[in-house]
Chains A and B, each alone.
Chain A
Amino acid sequence: MGTVAAHGLRKSFGKVQALDGVTLEVPDGSFFVVLGPSGAGKTTTLRAIAGLERLDAGSVRLDGRDATGDAPAARDLAMVFQSYALYPRHTAYENIASPLRARRRSSSEIAAAVERMSSLLHIERLLQRRPAQLSGGEMQRVALARALVRSPRAFLMDEPLTNLDLKLRVEMRTELTRIHRGLGATFVYVTNDQVEALSMADQVAVLKEGRVQQVGTPAEVYERPANQWVAGFVGSPPISLLACHAEGDRLVGADGWSLPRPRWSTASDGRPLLLGLRAEDLSVERRGDASLPGELYGLEPLGDRTVVDVRVGTQILKVKARPTVTGTPGEPLQVTVDLDRAHLFDAGTGLALPRAGG
């Protein structure tokens, strides 16, 4: 068992409201990602769950039992700290062994467990070094090993892969997903990297300024962002947002363009809206009945694809295209829009408009 639930967590540091009513339900055995930009309160949330932070309000339940006042040791959680927090006087081996030593395991059992972890995380050669003699990525892996070496109720991981180089990060991502499946344990994983969130998570909670913006599967968060901010934060290149309003069966842009009104749209006429268009739902290569007139603004070749910046009125649209696409800036273009996959937000509240027929 390993369910983690936080209800209405509030915490302020002086004038900064770090957590402003954070509620999370982490099901047993799930890979739960808390995604948010720097300063969103991700670390504070994890520390609150771990019992390291005294809360202003709210409760933490572990396996359904109230654990709000429990000491960290009594919660049976393991944590990877954002700053690693490796003990400076101890070797990597002793760091990894520490949770087992605290539980008075036999030294043969400890040796076996440390060896298992170090081969899993490719740090066999580093075991006799102290943290000062390790690189950032190596320290991060030792910190991971220290958490993974025992089987706690749940693992709390605070950006455990941020300091690894890209190749190792991709490798560790797969490795962690595999470890998670193998253990069947509950992971609460904090990151500001949406790729990590989308690729690893069963459930994502998007956090901003101490408030949960949306909880859902990666697909839900990506396909049905709850508000304009989530839409802008998740996805790369970022979603393009165009000011517009509905007029009969058309959407009319503030810059003068007009598109057929999406069938699913429930917006009333004249209400200020934002039309959200993701790069892959736009095309400069295909032709369709819904299109926007613009001109080429710039090209960003990314190897496997090229992002075409198109100026429509006063705004720049990011459009995904094949890597072979060419053009000169200023050249007129038609951008074809897949309206079924477009998003509409209330320009005032930023909330996504409900979709007719799901």
Chain B
Amino acid sequence: MAVSVGEAVSAGPAGDRTPPARRFGGRGRSVLEVVLLAVLAVVMLFPALWMIETSIKENRDVYAIPAKFFDFTVTMDHFRDVFVASGGTRSALSVSFLNSVVVAGVSTVLATVLGVPAAWAYSRFAVRAKKDQLFFILSTRFMPPVVVVIPIFLMYRQVGLIDTKLGLILIYAAFNVPFTIWMMKGFVDEVPAEYEDAAMLDGYTRLQAFWKFTLPLLLPGIAATAVFALIFSWNEFVFAIFLTSSDTVRTAPPAIAGLIGGTTVDWGLVAAASVVFALPVLVFAYLVRRHLVAGVTLGAVRR
């Protein structure tokens, strides 16, 4: 589910793709199409459905052979186990969720606060070698995290950022700032610079003009961009597993992955934790779904 700049940029205008219905030539959808779509839907949705089912099954139904699709006993025990440890204290998983919230939230805010003004500057001002600078900024996203994680690990060890939330926040912000600049530059380009010109003649300073007249028009774009950044930070696994180790610092992805691998695996707990983990992203994406589409098709593509 990780969203990279590459995907956002290549998404292109929606109109480029002919709807499948037309490619098959017929009016409406052909039988073949319906069948294909149904098969695809089952393949795509089955793991998610199975995860949800498993999270509310009693353990003996989880391991039942043949598998029980419908006639199982519903229980919320696994969800309780996600948050509460056996002694009634807070569970390690719930701490990791809290860490995820802090790390993803703060890194997104940081990336937005740094990236939006930078995008505005790149859009509005004559910057020397602007195209080269923008390409350089984008190029920092070409490399997958695994490539840089070892050097980052060594550097972090030197400066004492290993196994700290601050370390994760900084690295996620560093990954999200270029993305934010690229997305937001597209949105800023869409807002005529003359609003700011007019505001400056009205008597405002350049910053006031930006703050009062341009920023409000950018809010939908900022929301869409921030959600992308949030989802990236929330889902990130490679840095998290390399750079953190203690339960108090760990974010949810490595923590959930850590549940698998002992002699016995509590699949119910894994499924419940996964559901809890997926929920915020789904809710967020749903809330800003209109802007997500606008963000992908409009924002980053134009120059």
Contact = CB atoms under 8 A, between A and B. Distances in A.
Given A83-B194, A85-B194, A85-B195, A102 B202 contact: yes
Contact of B198 (A79, A89, A103): A79
B33 interface: no
Interface string B214-254: 00110000000000000000000000000000000000000
Interface in B197-221: 197-206, 208, 213, 216-217
A98 interface: yes
B206 A85 contact: no
B216 A79 contact: no
Interface stretch (A70-78, A192-200, A231-239): A70-78
B144 interface: no
Interface in A63-110: 71-73, 77-79, 81, 83, 85-89, 98-99, 101-103
A99 B209 CA distance: 12
B126 interface: yes
B201 A79 contact: yes
A71 B207 CA distance: 12
Contact of A73 (B192, B195, B201): B201
B213 A87 contact: yes
Contacts of B199: 87, 98, 102
Contacts, number: 59
A71 B216 contact: no
Contact of B204 (A50, A78, A102, A146): A102
Contacts of B204: 73, 102
A50 B200 CA distance: 10
A102 B212 CA distance: 11
B216 A72 contact: no
Contacts of B200: 51-52, 71-73
Contacts of A77: 201
A86 B195 CA distance: 7
Secondary structure call for the B interface: helix
Nearest to A99: B202
A146 B203 CA distance: 12
Interface residues of A, number: 24
Interface in A11-42: none
A173 B197 CA distance: 26
A54 B126 contact: yes
A250 B202 CA distance: 61
Contacts of A85: 192, 194-195, 197-198
Give the interface centre of B126, B200, B216, B217 by most chain A CB atoms within 10 Å: B200
Contact of B202 (A47, A88, A89, A98): A98
Contacts of A73: 200-205
Contact of B203 (A51, A86, A99): A99
A173 to B, nearest CB: 23
A98 B209 CA distance: 11
Interface in A207-241: none
Interface string A132-166: 00000000000000100000000000000000000
Given A85-B192, A89-B216, A89-B217, A52 B203 contact: no
15 contacts: A50-B197, A71-B205, A72-B200, A73-B204, A78-B201, A79-B197, A83-B194, A85-B195, A85-B197, A87-B213, A98-B198, A98-B199, A98-B202, A102-B199, A102-B204
Interface of B: 126, 192, 194-195, 197-206, 208, 213, 216-217
